[in-house]
C-alpha cells in the first residue's frame, strides 16, 4: 500500500481489475488535500506489489477483497475511514460498506456495477485479449506485471466476473445495497464504454439518500482524465 497526507479523515482508494495504487490513482495520491486527509491506496492480493500470491477469481473474490481491505485499514489503526472505489474496487467498496457499517464513514464509487448482464459479458469478452488494448493503457500494466501474467490474469478475470451472469439477475451484491447506511456518492461517465449507465442508476436507486453525478464527457477512467474536477467533487463530498 501507499500512504500520504496527515489529515484526520482517513480514505482508502480501491483500484480496478489488475489495478494498483501507482497505476490507478496517481492524481489522487498527488493532489488530494494532505491537511484534511490521510490517503491510503492499496494493491489487492495478486495485483501490483501484493504478489505473491498470484491473483485468482473464486466465486467470493469481491467479498475476499472487501475483508482484506478492511483488515488492512484496521492493521494501520484507522478506527473509521472512507472508501473511494473504482470499477472492481467500487464493487469491493459497496460490499465493505454494507458488511462493516460501523467502520465506514463515507463512500464514493464510480465505474461500478452490482450485477452482470449478458451485455456486460459481451463487453468483457471484448477486452479479454490484451494484445488488442491501446498502447497507452497496456504499457504501464505490462511494465508492472510482465506480458504473461498480465494477459493470463485478464483472461481469468473475464471468466471470473462473467460467472456472476449465471446468478439470478446476474447478482454480485444487489441484496447488500439497502444495508449501506453511510453517505454515498456515485459518479458515472456518460461515455463509459465498459459499464453501462443503468448500473450507476441501479446503485443510486437502492442506496437510500445516495447522490449520483453524471459526467457528460467522462469515460471509465474519469478520475484520471478529469482529475481536477473529480478531486474537487470528491473532496467537497468528504468534508
> Collapsing DSSP states into helix, strand and coil, what is residue 47?
coil
Q: Is 87 a catalytic residue?
A: yes
State the CB neighbour count (10 A cutoff) for residue 209. 9
Place of cell 475511514: 81
8 A C-beta contact, residue 42 and residue 13? yes
Place of cell 504478489: 51
CB-count exposure of residue 25 (10 Å: 0-12, 13-18, 19+): buried
Catalytic residue among 115, 162, 192, 210: 192
8 A C-beta contact, residue 167 and residue 113? no
As a whole number of angstroms, the distance between CA 176 and CA 88 comes to 16
Q: How many residues does the chain have?
A: 239
Q: Is 220 a catalytic residue?
A: yes
CB-count exposure of residue 35 (10 Å: 0-12, 13-18, 19+): exposed
State the CB neighbour count (10 A cutoff) for residue 72. 17
Catalytic residue among 20, 87, 162, 210: 87
8 A C-beta contact, residue 157 and residue 57? yes
In the numeric block, which cell numbers belong to residue 201? 442508476
User: Catalytic residue numbers?
Assistant: 87, 192, 220
Amino acid at each position: 500500500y501507499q500512504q500520504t497526507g496527515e489529515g484526520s479523515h482517513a480514505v482508502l482508494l480501491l483500484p480496478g481489475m489488475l489495478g494498483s495504487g501507482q497505476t490507478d490513482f496517481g492524481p489522487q495520491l498527488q493532489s488530494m488535500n494532505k491537511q484534511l486527509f490521510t490517503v491510503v491506496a492499496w494493491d489487492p492480493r495478486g495485483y501490483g506489489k501484493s504478489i505473491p500470491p498470484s491473483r485468482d477469481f473464486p466465486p467470493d473474490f469481491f467479498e475476499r477483497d472487501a475483508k482484506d481491505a478492511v483488515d488492512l485499514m484496521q492493521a494501520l489503526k484507522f478506527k473509521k475511514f472512507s472508501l473511494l472505489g473504482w470499477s472492481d474496487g467500487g464493487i469491493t467498496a459497496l460490499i465493505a460498506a454494507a458488511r462493516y457499517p460501523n467502520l465506514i464513514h463515507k463512500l464514493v464509487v464510480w465505474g461500478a456495477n452490482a450485477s452482470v448482464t449478458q451485455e456486460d459479458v459481451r463487453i468483457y469478452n471484448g477486452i479479454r485479449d490484451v494484445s488488442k488494448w491501446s498502447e497507452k493503457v497496456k504499457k504501464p500494466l505490462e511494465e508492472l506485471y510482465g506480458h504473461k501474467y498480465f494477459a493470463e490474469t485478464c483472461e481469468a478475470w473475464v471468466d471470473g466476473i462473467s460467472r456472476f451472469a449465471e446468478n439470478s439477475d446476474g447478482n454480485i451484491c444487489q441484496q447488500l445495497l439497502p444495508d449501506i447506511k453511510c453517505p454515498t456518492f456515485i459518479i458515472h461517465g456518460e461515455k463509459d464504454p465498459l459499464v453501462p449507465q443503468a448500473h450507476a442508476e441501479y446503485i443510486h436507486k437502492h442506496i437510500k439518500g445516495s447522490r449520483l453525478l453524471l459526467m457528460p464527457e467522462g469515460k471509465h477512467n474519469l478520475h484520471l482524465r478529469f482529475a481536477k474536477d473529480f478531486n474537487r467533487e470528491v473532496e467537497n463530498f468528504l468534508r
